[in-house]
Amino acid sequence: MRCPRIEVDLRKIRHNTQTIAKRLKRRGIRVTAVTKAVCGHPAIARAMRDGGAAGLAEARLSNVKRLRQAGVTCPITLIRTPMLSQVDDVVQACEASYNTELSVIAALAAAARRQNKVHGIILMAEMGDQREGIMPHDLGDVARGVVDMPGVALKGIGANFACLNGIAPTVSKMRALSALANDVEGQCGPFVETVSGGNSANLPWATGGNATGRVNDLRIGEAILLGVDPVTGDQIGGMYRDAFTLVAEVIETDAKSVDPLVGNFDHTLARIRLVPDISEITRIILAIGHQDTDAAGLLMPAGTTLIGATSDHLVIGTCDATLCVGSEMRFQMRYGALMRAMAASDIQINLRNDRPTTNAHNVHGPSKHLALV
């Protein structure tokens, strides 16, 4: 099989989505599955939908277009404030978008009127992460501006936590978000349907027995894909940590690591090189590098340490004496490594356990899904 590659177990993605969707449903919260870390990969998005995600969310319009071209028809929300230069395509491809700028909303409204559509607007409130968001005291005014604008409809409000500053949402912040939903309704009338409380970092809050108030939606990416809490890095109970595996090939194994004196022609030192190496660590080189992934975000198998990486090489120390040139090594990934590997043009993506076959799918055979790679 080709290397480097990522093996994606779609059954584990379905299971992880299902597990979170079930836990959140009991709390009155639906899951909007976020596909940005997998560049809007259609088969992974479909696995999330099959697992019970109510809709999909993407940060990049290019990924939304990839989903649409693959025939994904469910609601897709753009969760990064749209670029002014892309409003026409945003209205065409997305049911709704998260917004923080009235000038962008006005451009979206104009684009929607040209297309005879109504584009949904979710206003992002700044609740302490200090990335995107409207200051809470300005939210009512902006909401009224949206309500008065033909071509757009105020669908809801949202907040984001633990992205820029890594601080998990507190009970009081979440209570404040619910209060904001009530305030916006009080100020501008229409029912605020969606109150999107945040991302994977909100799961401990949402499943921890706190009152969920008005929050009825979470946007979940990392927890579905990697089965971990992004704030602590801990595995979430009942979830798979290994839906994705990065496989790379060994291109060199030797003992040069124990000889830091290569190129030094001092004969006294050269003799030192003849001392047998008693270390059991072998240094090996894999054909993968910074251009493909975040080397520091690879989880090293037991008995293995990361020595370093360059753009195209990964250098590793290992006790595994069976590894030789041509061997494959398998790695689990953290979020940053996954995100870059999924975007790397040189990495093949192999899907496992695609949808349980039905008659409808048998007609096309398994190669149908491989075509989406």
Ligand X SMILES: *Cc1c(COP(=O)(O)O)cnc(C)c1O
Q: Cβ of residue 22: shortest distance to ligand X, in angstroms?
A: 17
Say how far apart CA 295 and CA 216 lie, in whole Å.
Answer: 37
String marking each residue 169-208 x if it binds ligand X according to CB under 6 A: ------------------------------xx--------
Cβ atoms of 81 and 104 within 8 Å: the answer is yes
| Among 13, 152, 220, 316, contact with ligand X (rule: CB under 6 A) | 220
Smallest separation, CB 79 to ligand X (Å): 4
Residue from the set 59, 108, 206, 239 that interacts with ligand X by CB under 6 A: 59
For residue 15, state whether it binds ligand X (rule: CB under 6 A): no
- Rounded to a whole number of angstroms, the minimum distance from the CB of residue 48 to ligand X is 12
- Of residues 25-44, which lie at the interface with ligand X (CB under 6 A)? 34, 36
Minimum Å distance from CB 332 to ligand X? 17
**Per rule CB under 6 A, count of chain residues that contact ligand X:** 13
Q: Looking at residues 267 to 296 of the shown chain, list those that interact with ligand X (rule: CB under 6 A).
A: none
| Site for ligand X contains 219 (CB under 6 A) | yes
Among 58, 183, 222, 249, binds ligand X (CB under 6 A): 222
Cβ(336)–Cβ(222) under 8 Å? no
- Only one residue has tokens 């250098």, namely 315
CA 372 to chain centre: 19
Which member of 20, 38, 76, 79 binds ligand X (CB under 6 A)?
Answer: 79
For ligand X, the closer of residues 36 and 119 by Cβ is 36
Which CB, 48 or 288, lies closer to ligand X?
48
Q: Footprint of ligand X on this chain (CB under 6 A)? A: 34, 36, 59, 79, 160, 199-200, 219-223, 230
